[in-house]
Structure 1
Amino acid sequence: MMKLHDSFKQTLLRAFCLSSAVICLTASSSAWALFSDDEARKAILDLRKSLATTQLDLQGQIEKLKADNAELRGKVEELEKQTEEIGNSQKTYYQDLDNRLGNFEPRSITIEGVTGTVQPGEKKAYDESLKAFQAGNLKKADDGFTAFTRKYPNSPYLPLALYWGGNSKYANKDYAGAISQLQTLIKKYPNHPRIAAAMVTLGNCQLESGNKAAAKKTFSDIIAKYPDTDAAKDAQQLLSATK
């Protein structure tokens, strides 16, 4: 009976030890698992913090690049503006120089297809007469263009002087003078770009003078020689009105 009791005690002791070992092992495993989760969370937090810091640094760099780019763009625009201003200034300077030289020495130029030598003061005389015409001072314009044609008979401005002079005389109701001047233009410069318009004025002068037959011929010539032009349209209306 004593031996059986001792054997039972030994069995219980072994079971207790085994159970304690299992409990210890389980407790140790749980502690290790808890330690690993903390480390993982800390690593994730550190990684997030690092990414956030990196993102802020990148955002700062991007903003700085944008600011630098805007500053450079502003400098480029300013340089372009300065270049344009310099170009315009140089253009004005050379135009002014060219005009100044034109007041002191003859120059060869081409005006509406007519090439010739312009004498000092010639352009000024023409410009003053044209300004008078544009301002409605037709008497002054007529006198100026008449004087110009006499003083500068070989000028490249002569076709224009005859054209505007003829229109000035027409506006002043000097129909005979206008007809003479416009016919001179048409005869001397048959291919000049102002001829079609000059012929319209000529036809009007002839009509106002009472020479309806001459006016009809002039208007018919315009329609035949310069079809599909504003001058031809005007001539067609005037021709229809004379019937």
Structure 2
Amino acid sequence: MKSFFYSCKQTLSRAFCLSAALVCLCSSNSAWALFSDDEARKAILDLRKSLATTQLDLQNQIDALKTENAKLRGKVEELEKQGEEINTSQKTYYQDLDNRLGNFEPRTVTIEGVTGVMQPGEKKAYDDALSAFQSGNLKKAEDGFSAFITRYPKSPYIPLALFWSGNSKYANKDYSGAIAQLQGMIKRFPEHPRIPAAMLTLGNAQLESGSKVAAKKTFSEIISKFPDTDTASKAQQLLTATK
């Protein structure tokens, strides 16, 4: 790089000298006295040619410098991209490692506002039951959530397990079982974000079991406790339709 700038410096110096000579030759009366017209014209043409060549050399060197800078920028961008990829890879690695460790040792987690110690295998048991519910295998889901609640009574997933267990029972037309499960969840976790949805399912289960008075009360509580929500709107529709 130093040799490159030194070359540029020499080229500029040569261009300056040629320009100065051309100016002196054109402006000095004595210069015309020393040369004949043809010689003077030839000298001027030679100077112009040399100057043009020098300018071309200088432009070529400038273009080469621009190309070199572009290459350097490309290398810098490539290194930055590689650095980002390494950081992403490390985050993925440590996250995967953390998940793997979670399968072998207890750890404290917070699930939808509920903090507790999750035991090894606990999350998989919950996920398996939820997957069964989502795929429509309601009997397997109900059995899975019931087993989960029995095995992990202090799990931070318990509110969700009770919620989905109640929904599984309701979908299986076990209305009394759904009512008991959902009422238990509402009583134990009154501030849980799933309470409005749990109450809506509870009201439907009460309605399906023939307990219209209880269902109306549940729908009215939803409207009172959770106004201006989609759940309250649905509760209002059900309340209006219940005679």
Normalised-by-shorter TM-score class: 0.7 to 0.9
Q: What is the identity percentage for the equivalent residue pairs of Structure 1 and Structure 2?
A: 73
The aligned residue for residue 107 of structure 1 is 107
Report the secondary structure of 2:104's partner residue. Answer: coil
The aligned residue for residue 39 of structure 1 is 40
The aligned residue for residue 67 of structure 2 is 67
The aligned residue for residue 57 of structure 1 is 57
Report the secondary structure of 1:190's partner residue. Answer: coil
Say what the alpha-carbon RMSD is for the aligned residues.
2.5
How far 1:223 sits from its partner (Å)?
1.8
Change (3 A) 1:77 1:38: same
C-alpha separation in 1, matches of 2:144 and 2:110: 22
**TM-score, with length taken from structure 1:** 0.76
C-alpha separation in 2, matches of 1:75 and 1:206: 69
The aligned residue for residue 25 of structure 1 is none
Report the secondary structure of 2:57's partner residue. Answer: helix
How far 1:116 sits from its partner (Å)?
0.9
1:164-195 CA distance string (max 9 Å, x none)? 11111122221111111111111101111111
Residue identity matched to 1:123: K
How far 1:161 sits from its partner (Å)?
0.7
C-alpha separation in 2, matches of 1:37 and 1:200: 108
The aligned residue for residue 230 of structure 1 is 230
Change (3 A) 1:39 1:212: farther
The aligned residue for residue 154 of structure 1 is 154
Change (3 A) 1:59 1:109: same
- In the alignment of these two chains, the number of paired residues is 212
**TM-score, with length taken from structure 2:** 0.76
TM superposition outliers: structure 1 runs of 4+ over 6 Å: none
Residue identity matched to 2:52: A
The aligned residue for residue 203 of structure 1 is 203
1:39-64 CA distance string (max 9 Å, x none)? 36843x45543553344334323433
C-alpha separation in 2, matches of 1:41 and 1:239: 108
1:107-148 CA distance string (max 9 Å, x none)? 111111111111111111111111212222221111100110
The aligned residue for residue 173 of structure 2 is 173
Q: 5+ residue gaps in structure 1? A: 1-30
C-alpha separation in 1, matches of 2:83 and 2:123: 32
Residue identity matched to 1:178: A
The aligned residue for residue 14 of structure 1 is none
Q: 5+ residue gaps in structure 2? A: 1-31
